[in-house]
Chains A and B, each alone.
Chain A
Amino acid sequence: MIAGAAPRFEWKPNPDGATRTIQEACEIARRWGVEIPGYVQFWVDEYDYLDENTTAKTTTFREFEGTIIDWSWFFHKKTGKIPFLIRKDIMASDEAIVAVIGHEMFELERLRSIFAEGAPVERWEAETSPNNPGNFHWQAWDYADELIARMRGEDG
């Protein structure tokens, strides 16, 4: 597997079979160093909205090139938060929780640095596509791998 395209580690299920709540998941992620801003809200995907290849997601923009995406577009207008859905099975693995939340928060923070002032949709797609080596999405999986290595005590 090429580094960065997807997580390098296979996440282990919790040995006791425990499934975490969203609150517990965020606490676990924070314990391993993931910063979750107050304007982010995670949700378990109770409706099976996500497909089997998607571990978590926020809004997907489908616009013609040149459309300026403003940072406010990421937010739910009623809650004032940026919502992220997490696939249900992720909650049964602390490693998966840390990797997925870590990945999403890393990517979001990088996107914020670009989209705080507004930027064209093609920039958003370039940075979030799994087919664009070295972009924020790839960097975010590298970061997630570092977190898992730390959890396993393999970070040297």
Chain B
Amino acid sequence: MIKKLIEMYESGSITGYQVMMDCLQMLDPDNPDLVLSDLPEEILDEMVKYARRYDPRRQRSESLIPPAEDQVRTAERWICARRSRSANPVKS
């Protein structure tokens, strides 16, 4: 499913926002790698932006339900941790 979404995104048939949203909704907070590890950086950027504006104290639609808070926060932590690692590579 993730591969399919990335291919659709790369071809131009769905937006990065759509990929980001579909991925967040299928993300398992206990195993975020499954969904996040192959996503292009620009999709991860979209995800971080979404996480920053995500505020479950605000009202939401009854039909177009945003992803759950643990999905969003897990993704945010995973992305920040990965970027932190790549910004500070371990020297041997």
Contact = CB atoms under 8 A, between A and B. Distances in A.
B14 A49 contact: yes
A47 B67 CA distance: 23
Contacts of A47: 4, 7-8
Contact of B21 (A41, A62, A77): A62
Interface residues of A, number: 30
Interface string B1-43: 0001001110111111110010000000000000000000010
Main secondary structure of the interface of B (DSSP, over half): loop
Contacts, number: 71
Contacts of A83: 12-15
18 contacts: A43-B12, A47-B4, A47-B7, A60-B21, A61-B17, A62-B67, A64-B56, A65-B59, A66-B58, A76-B9, A76-B15, A76-B16, A77-B15, A77-B42, A78-B12, A83-B14, A125-B64, A131-B63
Interface of B: 4, 7-9, 11-18, 21, 42, 53-56, 58-61, 63-67
